Structure 1
Amino acid sequence: MAATIHDVAKHAGVSIGTVSRAINNYKDISPETKERVFKSIKELGYTPNVIARGLSSKTTSNIGVIVSGLLDSNRFDNLWYMLLQGIYRYTSENDLEVAIYPTNSKEQTRKSYTKFCKERNIAGAIISGITITDVYFKELVNAEIPCVVIDVPMVGKKVGCVSVDNIKASAEITDYLISNNHTKLCVIAGKKTAAVTLDRMKGINQSVMSNGLQIDDEDILYCDFSQEIAYKNVREYIEKHDKSRATAFVCMSDIMAMGAIDAIKDCGYSVPGDFSVTGFDDIPVSQLISPALTTIRQDLIQIGYESAALLKKIIDDPSEAKHVYAQYQLMIRSSVRSL
């Protein structure tokens, strides 16, 4: 039978409370007593319960990763995995505990962000996938529990953000299309309520307007970051307009770009022979599809790492809350041709 905290207390000749205080590094435990407790722990092979340890400690090293919309992700989309890899890399280097908590817009109405974190003894949270209409988004401005949001440009008393400069990156890839004489563009946008959609649309509009062009509402197709919806909408768009309206599709994600390319091919056209297509993210499969996708590379592993690092800073000192911009890179491949 596994040793218990009661066994450790009896073996060390101290109270259960003293064992708990020694494990949680309380300052009022003498070095001699602490040494005796840890010697008993080693000899008995006792393993402290991490959750119980956190609950009994004055401070907690538990970080939560709250992911909204996890079940909506595409099978080719490994963005969540890369983000979590970066978060875990930081937490493992800094002796922090991390747990993942999936949620969605409906579940957020049942329990506040602060209550959610307090019930799980979370010192702070990294939040990904929320939209500007989500309950948590509205709560975060005055949140008691420190947090860092991914791709939502907001900074509050205990709220920070990590992202690439979505406006600048989207403007750059649109400039690239225009420099290749694509003056008639169709935008494959994400969710209307996603902050990242709004920022990327700002960047596209900045580029278009600075080049004396415009994009009509009919040329903006909202596809919820879904490959299937992008396929459906692009196919309907081409069947309606043929090649008379747009020469290039500016997609706000690689996943939607894949749907657009499939739709173009199924309509009897080619990429980039008849239409050019760009993406955003540079997921691994974007280099493997035909043609290889011109896109914006964002390092999600680094974004995850920076998110965890920023959260730790905010937990220690709320004045550290800020927007951290990660680097991005325009990846020019073969899905765009010059007219």
Structure 2
Amino acid sequence: MKKATIKDVAQLANVSISTVSNALNGVNVVKPGTRDKILAAAAQLNYSPNLMGKQLRSGQTNQIGVFTDSVAGPYFYTLVEAISHAVAAKDYGMTVTLANNHEALMNALLGNTCDGAIIFDHRIQATDLDQLMTQGVPTIMLDRPIAGPQLSSIIFDSFKESYQATRYLIKLGHRRLAFLAGYDNNRDSHERLAGFKQALTDAGLAADSAVILRGLFEEGASFNAVKRYLHETDGAYVSAFLAGNDLSAIGAIKALNAEGYEVPHDFSVVGFDDIEIASYFQPTLTTVRNPIVRQGRLAVDELVAMLAGEQAGREQVLTGQFMVRESAGMP
């Protein structure tokens, strides 16, 4: 069956093509009765406007682009879902781009595929952001603090949160602690490690001799890292683990259990993010609840405000809430 055209709609409604275009694009020069007749004709013919042509004429896509180097794990599930709900509430569409290299990423960002971008991707450099600003692409960064005329950031205070979590473990009496680090190129992992070391230093403990394991924000990698540590250490173990996220904390607890230890009786474990399973896992996870949903909603609100010219770029730092449960023990 031949696809209906705007000419077909005009003939059926007995109006000009320009009148149909004005009616379908909401231009306020068409009489209500005529607009109703045109909409009825379009519905009868099952007419779909040429959105690509509309985009080329207006320079707008009505799409918000989310660009990331990973969509794995509960953090990203929660974040992307929050963004999608907020985008829909603003009457925008959403695309998610997981580019496999830097060139593909920049082509997508600069290819007029979206009106504005929300980015969590370590491959974006300062020169890339300069390009985005030159091209007039309003941007929200979720992985680093930065601000500009059309550039905002919404991040977590990972240093402070990690510092406080480490102080809690020290208050419990722990003097030898381990940190399960995330990805090497991840800001939150770096900030959490820095907060961990600062808390040790402020407590008079040797930060340089702290045990650092590669958990990679993954349950499996953390499980293997902790098991390897237990097997390769002569018995003078740490007594507490601060994990880079909750998946790493769960992996650490499973490894300790597999070696015959009990948490928190033998070891204390603390995580980050407070993912859904954290309060159901046994033992329940002591963790830092980061406002992931709020981060996603704020990113959309901020971006839409910049698109409307109502908001200049700025930095926003969100604070978490320390959730005391079973896995660390009580003071």
Normalising by structure 1, report the TM-score: 0.86
Aligned with residue 221 of structure 1, among 202, 208, 213: 213
Partners in 1 of 2:126 and 2:17 — Cα distance?
42
Alpha carbons of structure 1 residues 330 and 25: separation in structure 2 relative to 1, 3 Å: same
Cα deviation for residue 110 of structure 1 reads 3.8
Indicate yes or no: 2:41 matched with 1:43. yes
Indicate yes or no: 2:138 matched with 1:140. no
Q: Give 2:93's aligned residue.
A: 97
Amino acid at match of 2:129: L
Q: Give 1:195's aligned residue.
A: 187
Partners in 2 of 1:228 and 1:283 — Cα distance?
17
Cα deviation for residue 309 of structure 1 reads 0.8
- Stretches of structure 1 that go unaligned for 5 or more consecutive residues are none
Cα deviation for residue 301 of structure 1 reads 1.6
Aligned with residue 329 of structure 1, among 305, 310, 321: 321
Superposed, which structure 2 residues align to 1:174-185 within 5 Å? Answer: 174-185=166-177
Indicate yes or no: 2:29 matched with 1:30. yes
Partners in 1 of 2:175 and 2:247 — Cα distance?
24
Cα deviation for residue 8 of structure 1 reads 2.1
Indicate yes or no: 2:46 matched with 1:54. no
Partners in 2 of 1:67 and 1:270 — Cα distance?
37
Amino acid at match of 2:39: I
Secondary structure class of the residue paired with 2:207 = coil
Alpha carbons of structure 1 residues 191 and 17: separation in structure 2 relative to 1, 3 Å: farther
Amino acid at match of 1:64: G
Cα deviation for residue 276 of structure 1 reads 0.6
How many residue pairs align between the two structures? 324
Superposed, which structure 2 residues align to 1:200-279 within 5 Å? Answer: 200-216=192-208, 219-241=211-233, 243-279=235-271
The worse-fitting range, judged by mean Cα deviation, of 166-175 and 149-158 is: 149-158
RMSD over equivalenced CA pairs, Å: 2.5
Indicate yes or no: 2:85 matched with 1:86. no
Alpha carbons of structure 1 residues 218 and 329: separation in structure 2 relative to 1, 3 Å: closer
- Taking every aligned residue pair, what percent have the same amino acid on both sides? 29
Aligned with residue 108 of structure 2, among 108, 116, 133: 116
Partners in 2 of 1:164 and 1:94 — Cα distance?
24
String of CA shifts for 1:18-69, please: whole Å, max 9, x gaps.
Answer: 544543345xx6243x863453123330343555433332444211112212
Partners in 2 of 1:176 and 1:138 — Cα distance?
40
Partners in 1 of 2:176 and 2:279 — Cα distance?
25
Partners in 1 of 2:230 and 2:127 — Cα distance?
39
Secondary structure class of the residue paired with 2:204 = coil
Amino acid at match of 1:84: V
The worse-fitting range, judged by mean Cα deviation, of 177-186 and 81-90 is: 81-90
Partners in 1 of 2:260 and 2:154 — Cα distance?
41
Partners in 1 of 2:36 and 2:111 — Cα distance?
29
String of CA shifts for 1:109-165, please: whole Å, max 9, x gaps.
Answer: 3452xx41343531111112x22xx14565124423121122322223422111221
- Stretches of structure 2 that go unaligned for 5 or more consecutive residues are none
Q: Is the CA contact 1:272–1:336 (under 8 Å) kept in the aligned structure 2?
A: yes
Amino acid at match of 2:103: T
The worse-fitting range, judged by mean Cα deviation, of 12-21 and 91-100 is: 12-21
Cα deviation for residue 273 of structure 1 reads 1.1
String of CA shifts for 1:225-254, please: whole Å, max 9, x gaps.
Answer: 122211111111122225514110000100
Partners in 2 of 1:14 and 1:209 — Cα distance?
78
Secondary structure class of the residue paired with 2:98 = strand
Q: Give 1:299's aligned residue.
A: 291
Q: Give 1:6's aligned residue.
A: 7
Partners in 1 of 2:80 and 2:53 — Cα distance?
24
Partners in 1 of 2:18 and 2:126 — Cα distance?
40
Normalising by structure 2, report the TM-score: 0.87
Q: Give 2:150's aligned residue.
A: 158
Q: Is the CA contact 2:23–2:30 (under 8 Å) kept in the aligned structure 1?
A: no
Cα deviation for residue 201 of structure 1 reads 1.7
Cα deviation for residue 79 of structure 1 reads 2.1
Cα deviation for residue 324 of structure 1 reads 1.9
Partners in 2 of 1:138 and 1:182 — Cα distance?
44
